[in-house]
Amino acid sequence: MVTCANFRIQRTNRMKQLLKTHFGYDAFRPLQEDIMNTVLGQKDALVLMPTGGGKSLCFQLPALMFPGITLVISPLIALMKDQVDSLTANGISAAFINSTLTDDEMSSVEFRALSGELKILYVAPERLPSPAFRRLLEQLTVSLIAIDEAHCISEWGHDFRPDYRNLKDLRSAFPSVPVMALTATATPRVRDDIVKQLSMQEASVFLSSFNRPNLSYSVVPKSNSFGQLVERLRKLNDQPAIVYCFSRKDTESLAADLTHAGIRALPYHAGLERDLRRKTQERFIRDEVPVIVATIAFGMGIDKPDVRLVAHMDLPKTIEGYYQETGRAGRDGLPSECVLFYTYGDKRKQEFFIAQIADEDERELAQTKLNQVVSYCESDTCRRQTLLRYFGEPWDDSKCDACDNCVQAPVELRDATEISQKILSAVLRTGEAFGAAYVIDVLRGSRKERIVENHHDDLPVHGIGRDVSVDSLRECFRLLQKKGYLEKTEGDYPTLRVSRMGKAALSAREPIELPVSITTTTAAPSRSSRSSSAAAGSVPYDAGLFEILRRERKSIADERHVPPFVIFGDKTLQEMAYYFPRSTDSLSSVFGVGAKKLEEFGETFLALIREYAEANDRSERRHPKAGEERTTGSSSDGSATVERRGGSTVLKTKELIENKLTLAQIAESRGLSEGTVVTHIAALLAEDDSLDIEHLRPSDDRMCAISDAFEKTGGAFLSPVKTLLGDDYSYDEIKLARLFL
């Protein structure tokens, strides 16, 4: 007799087995297991989890345990493709239906769904009202409905999509099927609206922390922002970055300027032709271009885990939008930076468009949200605390040690009495009826038409700040306002006035001190200054080996036409470059190495690790998750590794090679791809270079062509050789030829 307790234990063991086999993880993240158990128990779940927190796994793993198909509603077409590619690489049958498919492709997906082959089907919300799709749903056994980006159903959310309202009908069509609604950006008001719209009053609510400890946040004065951006991008050394701009024109000009500065960058916005937009995104995801410059208004919807920098060149519209956009950094849990270049003048650009909103309530809401962003930028308190409290999460620590306000050194003050008195006097003498930009023009001696018309060119303060730069004056205005000497009036056209404290200081000629240079204290926190929590998940890996593994990952990904992170994530490669595993046993302990990926890619990466370790005298480190029982195959010096693999899949390939089977025959006999067989051959040669593989050598003509291509491209990498040779040569043949070269 199976008791409830025994059943739960069995289910947990099965979940952990699937977790390691398909995803390569040894343990669940906080809340994941509870969320999965909830839907497996046929109950609804509302999941609020930050980007990179593991939301997708919450429905992907239960899908393997349910008897039928899991339906995933996602508004992001590119994200669907990325997730389907990743699931397929992990040995999970998944597909998507959206507008990018041809009729034949659509029919193929429908056939796979109806035949029971598919476990997960991604669908765009626009597809739901389609009669043809409704007929398909009626024939499927739907076990779970997962609604990604669930905040899109709420008008109070920052990204409301009317098509999401069709989910009510979907819920009605499958009343007994559990629903999981997931979002990373929802205020308490939006959460309540999601529950109401989806009739999820009985749902269990899982609220994970919105904190992203691996991200650092900084707000930098918008002075020479291009130069600062270039410096940061160069330090990344071609690691991925996303730069957000206000307008489409800005994205194109900035991308061109970055390219001119020697940084490969492409623009990305809604005005581009759809095919070009798709190709641009694909090049970024596949590590062919490191920097994308995008508009704030147009979300990229990518699932790229290794973005190391998100920079905002202009003011975001809302805190929710900013949080979501910065959330595209460091989804793999490794340290990444979020930088916002700020000037108060950017607020006016946003307000111009807000003023065009016809609906008064909507206009006021937009203005309120913009004011919240400005408040975030001008705050002296912990950036992380400000973000978390906005989403209703308490943050009791006074410092996070991973934002500019928390890590900047004590500010050195200087006497700024003279320039401060000039500014305060100019504000008073111009009638306290203008903003900072106008008063700065007066101080700088401008004779613009408006100044002359107002006779402010006749004032004694006209031109008395001519020797001070515009940027320095603007910063002094900001600091005087921050310290309470200046105040900003309310209304549609706010102006500056001198406060009671400012007037007293001016009349008494009190000394006023301001920071020496705010620009030297607001740079992004350096990696060395971050707290240990900010570097969570990172290990002090060998950079040389990491780059070798990274290049191999790119070659394999290109062969398979998938993004590199589908093969292995950066965190996995970094662990390989730290632990130096020498056997399949020790490699299986590395984060992200599941059974399927170990089978397909293990020997390729082990061969590179062994070669590098021997050349650089590096020993294997024991992984803390490795089993206690070790064989001679895991010795630190790499000896006797073939002994550990006795009877393994690689040695089965060796037997067929010794029987003189062709590459195609070996692949067919083993049920493997030819590329995997070539990987096995490379691993066997690394152990025993006397193995006779001469019968597998390509013809002399083809060997000559491939050899010439390697020589012309100046390296040992497959992608440039394949590009040069064209479609007449496969990656597998080039890879095989490389063994003879």
Q: What is the pLDDT of residues 119-128, one digit of tens each?
A: 999 998 888 8
Contact 222, 61 (CB under 8 A): no
Q: Is 533 contained in some domain?
A: no
Output the CA torsion 675→680→684→686 (10° steps).
60
How many separate domains does the chain show?
4
Q: How confident is the model at residue 645 (pLDDT cuts 50, 70, 90)?
A: very low
Residues 6+ apart with CB under 8 A from 279: none
What the block records as the tokens of 448 is 């613009």
Q: If we measure between CA atoms, which residue out of 250, 235, 233, 231 comes closest to residue 290?
A: 233
Contact 73, 167 (CB under 8 A): yes
Q: Is 634 contained in some domain?
A: yes
Measured between alpha carbons, how far is 88 from 83 in angstroms, rounded to an integer?
A: 8
What is the average per-residue pLDDT within 61-82? Answer: 88
Q: What is the pLDDT of residues 677-700, one digit of tens each?
A: 887 787 777 667 778 888 988 888
Q: Is 534 contained in some domain?
A: no
Measured between alpha carbons, how far is 36 from 57 in angstroms, rounded to an integer?
A: 9
Phi, psi (degrees; rounded to nearest 5) at 410: -55, 135
Q: What is the pLDDT of residues 454-506, one digit of tens each?
A: 999 999 999 999 888 887 888 888 889 878 899 888 766 678 999 999 999 88
Q: Is 700 contained in some domain?
A: yes
Q: In terms of domains, do 263 and 400 share one? A: yes
What is the average per-residue pLDDT within 381-387? Answer: 90
Q: In terms of domains, do 36 and 139 share one? A: yes
Measured between alpha carbons, how far is 611 from 96 in angstroms, rounded to an integer?
A: 41
Q: Is 531 contained in some domain?
A: no
Of 454, 487, 520, the last residue of a domain is 520
Highest mean pLDDT among 159-168, 276-285, 441-450, 537-546: 441-450
Query: Range of 61's domain?
Result: 4-207
Residue 453, amino acid: E
Contact 570, 543 (CB under 8 A): no
Q: In terms of domains, do 386 and 274 share one? A: yes
Choose between 663 and 633: higher pLDDT.
Answer: 663
Q: Is 62 contained in some domain?
A: yes
pLDDT at position 120, please? 95
Measured between alpha carbons, how far is 682 from 693 in angstroms, rounded to an integer?
A: 11
CATH of the domain at 364: 3.40.50.300
Residue 254 has pLDDT above 90, yes or no: yes
Residue 628 has pLDDT above 50, yes or no: no
What the block records as the tokens of 637 is 């010096």
Measured between alpha carbons, how far is 335 from 332 in angstroms, rounded to an integer?
A: 9
Residues 6+ apart with CB under 8 A from 621: 578, 579, 580
Q: Is 424 contained in some domain?
A: yes
Mean pLDDT check: name the lowest of 47-51, 597-601, 630-634.
630-634
CA–chain centroid gap for 369, Å, is 24
Alpha-carbon distances, residue 208 vs 17, 204, 418 (angstroms): 24, 13, 51
Mean pLDDT check: name the lowest of 48-62, 407-421, 624-638, 692-706.
624-638
Prediction pTM value: 0.63
Q: In terms of domains, do 323 and 402 share one? A: yes
Q: In terms of domains, do 456 and 437 share one? A: yes
Q: In terms of domains, do 384 and 434 share one? A: no
Of 407, 437, 467, the last residue of a domain is 407
Phi, psi (degrees; rounded to nearest 5) at 73: -95, 120
CATH of the domain at 603: 1.10.150.80
CA–chain centroid gap for 312, Å, is 14
Phi, psi (degrees; rounded to nearest 5) at 610: -60, -45
Q: Is 278 contained in some domain?
A: yes
Residue 24, amino acid: G
Q: What is the pLDDT of residues 72-81, one digit of tens each?
A: 998 877 778 8
What the block records as the tokens of 537 is 């998940």
What the block records as the tokens of 526 is 């350096």
Q: What is the largest CA-CA distance in the chain?
A: 100
Choose between 399 and 52: higher pLDDT.
Answer: 399
Q: In terms of domains, do 612 and 712 share one? A: yes
Contact 290, 239 (CB under 8 A): yes
**How would DSSP label each residue in 464-532?**
TTTTS-HHHHHHHHHHHHHTTSEEE--SSS--EEE-HHHHHHHHTT---EEES-GGGT-SPPPGGGS-T
Q: In terms of domains, do 432 and 511 share one? A: yes
Q: In terms of domains, do 609 and 691 share one? A: yes
Q: In terms of domains, do 592 and 721 share one? A: yes
Q: In terms of domains, do 56 and 181 share one? A: yes
Q: In terms of domains, do 57 and 162 share one? A: yes
Residue 524 has pLDDT above 70, yes or no: no
pLDDT at position 563, please? 87
Scan for tokens 């990373």, then name that residue: 184
